Every structure is written in structure tokens, then in C-alpha cells.
Amino acid sequence: MSLEEYRSFHRRSIEEPEAFWSEQAAAVDWNRRWDEVRDYSRPPFVRWFAGGETNLCHNAVDRHLQERGEQTALAYVSTETGERAEYTYRELYAEVNAFAAALRGLGVGKGERVIIYMPMMPEAIFAMLACVRLGAIHSVVFGGFAAHNLAKRIDDAKPKVLITADAGMRGGSVVRYKPLVDEALDASRHPPEKVVVCHRGIDEEMPVDEGRDLDYSGLRQEHAGEEIPAEWVESSHPSYILYTSGTTGPPKGVQRDTGGYAVALVSSMKHIFASEPGETMFTASDIGWVVGHSYIVYAPLMYGMTSIVYEGLPIRPDPGIWWKIVEDYGVNTMFTSPTAIRALRKQDPKYMREHNTSSLRNLFLAGEPLDEPTSRWASESLGVTVRDNYWQTETGWPILSSLLPGLEDEPVVPGSAGFAVYGYDLKLVHEESGEEVGPGERGVLAIKPPLPPGCMSTVWGDDKRFVDTYFSDFPGDELYSTFDWATRREDGRYFIMGRSDDVINVAGHRLGTREIEEAISDHPDVAEAAAVGVKDEYKGQVVAAYVVPKESAPAGEELEESIKEIVAQRIGRIARPEIVRFVGALPKTRSGKLLRRSIQALAEGRETGDLSTIEDPAALEEIKAATPQSR
């Protein structure tokens, strides 16, 4: 195949979506065939495979039993606890059924929500699969998020049950989970009735609420050997909610369907990740992020692969650990973030050469811009092709990819995340007019609805917010905004140039400015704060906070430290500001809107744009003065 052939593959997905997607859907098991491939009677909402019935857990587990019952489904490696474990598809089936039986015993049924707040351990994946088996809706909350953040998600999802662990470990230090859960439950208005705890034996002092907390090992014993039939659900039945941050308001619950997601993921394993059933995939991410949902759990399992589940850092016990895993398990396809590779690049190159990584064909990187030196370093030291791909929590699978059918031999162009993925009708439009821009011109990347299978179906519990947030950015035709700047070359290659809103991306993790500002403003000595993302060599961006202290407050090192700490405590350590600067006022428009982009420009030593709407120009001067390149 060639680029020309891929173009016609893509064109067909847009012009004949029914035929195209029903062919892709043949790779998924259905209990009942759909009535309509695409129901777009209520734009911009779309229902893929309407009337069809399927189940993600059936597709990820049950359907492989006959052909691959003895194949390893999950290989678990923890360099934190030293544990390694393997589960065949048959063993996975037993574990998931026991977990599903336990949850059912606690009253979890179709449509009920379950929050999973866990470190990277196999039980977290059993729990996710058990939920979808029952038709329940899981919401995994990243284990690095603090109690306050967890409480917000609990109140939005109103779960029946919360599943957690006693503790996780990071870099050899114990991270206690259960006390955080207790704190979150105390702070929430809709605490779940029961908390299931997977006790790993790390935290012997773990607090227990006798009436509410249940030890999973007891439940597992009680339900061992039980088989719970997979609940067939209509294709658009929600499979999960995953919260993500935006510029305004509380985190949004990205709601995913069932059938469309299954089809998109299975087809992506073949067409984007160029993998085969029976092969091994290692996605070094966390189940708390969308990459973990899609490419640690659902896609590789539904496709019949072996998925590596890794708990630990990329540099411990030494920076060769990932390549050792590649060698030990014969990994064929790997997926991680540019930040992780940049962390490895700082280390002695000898670690790259110590292991035989010849089984590896492609290294996929996503989540943040991939810089050329990192890409070149990885491909040269590993002898693999590095494949940039671009997507969002909202889409669930890639929007742009540098590997697609026909592009195997196309040169990888550094800085480009690749071509439009089939199913996505992309438009590059002017920020204000919504008119399409030409090749080489900068625009906001938009998707002409309906969104393809696999993408979010709505914001959990708030259809209006879905439309208002994503489909109301441009005048004229209704378009989904990615809120990312991009350019496109004549040949169809896209280059992503950062967010058009104020979202901050630290090490591939998305953080909302508003949440950080709210946390800082809760500090008793703070009058006001602005948070912006500032370029960083390793993490892509770091958080910089410009803070107006209360008049009586001493602006000094102590206050700086306690501001950093309050953010870490309220949101999680990934949001901890790297830079805190004190100023007398923040620059705002006459209508009182913070001029975050101007602040960000100054913080990065760039010129500010048009400032005709500014209320108080002196405030900008102050920001400039507070930003000597002194980091």
C-alpha cells in the first residue's frame, strides 16, 4: 500500500461510513447485530451500531477461551514490590468472574457506577473488566490524585461501590491509598455504601471502617469458581466515565459507549498499532489515564494479545528495566509518553544496549509534543521506528498517526504526529471565523461530526455541557474543537502546536488551570492566583503560578512552599507548581477575564499578543519583572 491507497482508505471511511464501519465491526463479537451502523438523528450526538448488543468483557476475555485459553493475557511486573505474575486468558476469566460475583453480591448491576482508585496491580484490571461484565460503569481515578479531587469525582459519579488498595509504592516509598479514600469519603456528599479493599500487605496500619470496608481477599474466596454471564448491553450503553480537566468548571466526565469503542479499538490494533493477535504489547502508562484504559486493558485484550502491566518508574532498579521487560517477554509493540523517553535519555546510554530488543517493531509515543532529538535518540538506540500519534481522553484512540495502512514505508517526519486517522473528518479552521485555513497556515484542529466510533458520547450527566464545551467554539457549521493548534502540509501531514485554551500538559498529563488556581486561592494568605503552563525541557510543560498575596501576608520562601504544598495536597503531586512568583496584581481584560496567554508568553520570555482589551497594563509589567529567566 502507498500513501495514495491510504488516502482512499480514509476517504471511504468518511464517504461510506456505514459500509466501512460495518466491515470493521466484524472483528467484534455481537450478541445481536445492530439495526443501524450510525444513528445521527440528534446531532452532534451519535449512536454507533444502534440496536446492536455486545459486552466489552466478553470480547476481552470469554471469546478467547477456546482459542487462547492458555495464552498469557496479562503479564504483571512490579519493580516496586518485586512481584511478577502471569495470568492466562483462562485464569483471567476466573479472576474477573470472582470479582464480578463479589460486586454483584454488593448490589452492583447494570448502569451502576463503581469508582476504582488503585495503583497498578492486576486486581485493578480485574475490577474494570468485572464492572463492564455486569454492565456497570467504572470510573478509574488516577491514584496520584489527592482526596479532594477524588471527592469531586465521587460526587459526580455517585458510585455504589469504591474499590481501592491499602497502598501503592512510588520510587520505593509507600503511598497510602486508604487514608486518602477515607478523607475523600468524609468530604463527599454521595459516598458509596461499600469500599472494597485489595490489601497488598504494604500498609499494616491501614484504617478500617468495619461497617463499610470489605477485604477483597475474603470476597474472592467466597466467590471463587462462580461464573457470571456477561450482560449484553446495547451498543451505546456507557462502559466507563473518565474525568478530564478543562479550562473552566469542575472536571468533565468523559462518557464512553460500548460497541463503538470495541470496534474502534480492535480496528486500531490492526491498522494503527500494526499488531497481531497472540503478540505482546507493553503500554507503559497508568490505568488512571485514557492510554491505560485503551492500550493496557481493552484493545490488547479484545485483540487477543498479551498485555504487560507495569508498576514502577522507568529508571528503577536501573534505566534498562523496560528493555529488560521487552527482552523477557518478547514485546512486539510498545507505547509510552515522550516524557518517559526523555527521562531515559538523561541516563547512561549503556542501559539501552544491555538487552536484546529485537522483538520490538514499533515504539508509539503520545500525550504531548514529541521533539525531534527525543524521537531520534529512541529510534537510534533501539533500532525501532518511533511513531508519534495524537489524541485526547475525549477520543479514546488516535486522531492522527504516523503509522496507518500504506504508510509503513513513508518517512517519519520529525515534529509531525502524522496523518488523519480513518473515521476522522478533520478540519483546520481559523480560531475566530471557523473558516478553513490553507496548507502551512495555523488553525485550530476540529472534527466534523459525527465523531467516529470510540469517541466520547457525552459528558456524564450533562448533555448540554458536551455541546457547549466542544461544539460551540466556531460560528457556522457545528464542529468539535480539539482546542489544539496545528498546521497541515500539502501532503496531509499534521503538526500539533499546543493548546489553544489554557490547559496545562505536564509530562503528558492534562491539568486544568482553574483547579490549580482554586487550590491556591484557598490558601489563607492568598488573594488571587493565575496558573499557566511554561515550557520545560523534560516534562514538556511545568506549572507556573503568579500569586497576589493578601496585604498582611509575608511573600517569601515559606509562603511559596506552602502554596506548592496546598496544590499537591488538593490535586496531586503532578500539579505541584514548579515556579511561584508573587505580584501585586494580575493582568485582566476590562471584563475581568484573566489574560493567561499573555502571562504565559511573558513567563516563557515571548512577546504578548494584542493587548487592546487589558484593564491595567502595569500588571503585565509586573509579571515581566517577576519572570527573570531564573529557574
Contact range with ligand AMP by CB under 6 A, out of 277-285, 319-327, 383-391, 459-467: 383-391
Please identify which residue in 55, 401, 482, 513 interacts with ligand AMP, judged by CB under 6 A.
482
Amino acid at 10: H
Distance CA 513, CA 531 (A): 6
Name the DSSP class of 297. Answer: I
User: Nearest approach, Cβ of 486 to ligand AMP (angstroms)?
Assistant: 9
Structural contact between residues 146 and 176, judged by C-beta atoms closer than 8 angstroms: no
**What is the number of other CB atoms lying within 10 angstroms of the CB of residue 383?**
11
Site string for ligand AMP, 396-435 (x = CB under 6 A): ---------------------x------------------
With respect to ligand AMP, which residue has the nearer C-beta, 40 or 485? 485
What's the min distance (Å) between Cβ of 418 and ligand AMP? Answer: 9
Q: Rounded to whole angstroms, how far apart are CA atoms 512 and 526?
A: 19
| Amino acid of residue 561 | E
Tell which one of 388, 473, 502, 515 touches ligand AMP (CB under 6 A). Answer: 388
Alpha helix positions (H), 16-84: 17-24, 56-60, 65-68
**Binding residue count for ligand AMP, defined by CB under 6 A:** 20
Q: How far is CA 569 from CA 177, 378, 545, 574, in A?
A: 13, 35, 16, 10
Site for ligand AMP contains 244 (CB under 6 A): yes
Considering the complex, state which of residue 259 and residue 369 has its C-beta at the smaller distance from ligand AMP.
Answer: 369
Q: Could you tell me which stretch among 204-212, 298-306, 390-398, 518-526 binds ligand AMP (CB under 6 A)?
A: 390-398
Helix (H), strand (E) at residue 102: helix 89-105
**Of 263-271, 296-304, 386-394, 461-469, which segment contacts ligand AMP by CB under 6 A?**
386-394
Closest CA to 228 of 123, 53, 96, 340: 96
Beta strands in 278-392 (DSSP E): 280-283, 306-311, 333-336, 362-365, 385-390
Closest to ligand AMP by CB, 233 vs 290, is 290
Is 366 one of the binding residues for ligand AMP (CB under 6 A)? Answer: yes
Q: Which range of residues in 130-138, 142-150, 363-371, 595-603 is near ligand AMP by CB under 6 A?
A: 363-371
Q: Which stretch binds ligand AMP (CB under 6 A): 299-307, 344-352, 382-390, 449-457?
A: 382-390
**How far, rounded to the nearest angstrom, does the alpha carbon of residue 190 sit from its chain's CA centroid?**
25
Residue whose C-alpha is closest to residue 163's, from 205, 81, 219? 219
The yes or no reply on residue 145 touching ligand AMP (CB under 6 A) is: no
Q: CA dist 7 to 116, 489, 496, Å? A: 41, 14, 20
Q: Which of 484, 515, 536, 622 binds ligand AMP (CB under 6 A)?
A: 484
Rounded to a whole number of angstroms, the minimum distance from the CB of residue 289 to ligand AMP is 7
Contact mark string toward ligand AMP, 311..350, x via CB under 6 A: ----------------------------------------
Angstrom CA distances, 584 to 548, 551, 628, stand at 5, 9, 16
The contact mask relative to ligand AMP for 495-514 (x = CB under 6 A, - = no) is -x--x-----x----x----
Residue type for 48, please?
W
Render the burial of 309-328: b for 16+ CB within 10 Å, e for the rest: bbbbbbbeeebbbbbbbbbe
Nearer to ligand AMP, 509 or 523 (CB): 509
Residue 387 interacts with ligand AMP (CB under 6 A)? no
Q: Which of 135, 168, 369, 533 is in the footprint of ligand AMP by CB under 6 A?
A: 369
Examine residue 290 and tell whether it contacts ligand AMP (CB under 6 A): yes
Q: Which of 279, 286, 368, 622 binds ligand AMP (CB under 6 A)?
A: 368
Least distance to ligand AMP, CB of residue 403, Å: 13
Cα 74 from Cα 296, distance rounded (Å)? 9
Name the residues that contact ligand AMP, by CB under 6 A: 244, 290, 366-370, 388-393, 417, 482, 484, 496, 499, 505, 510
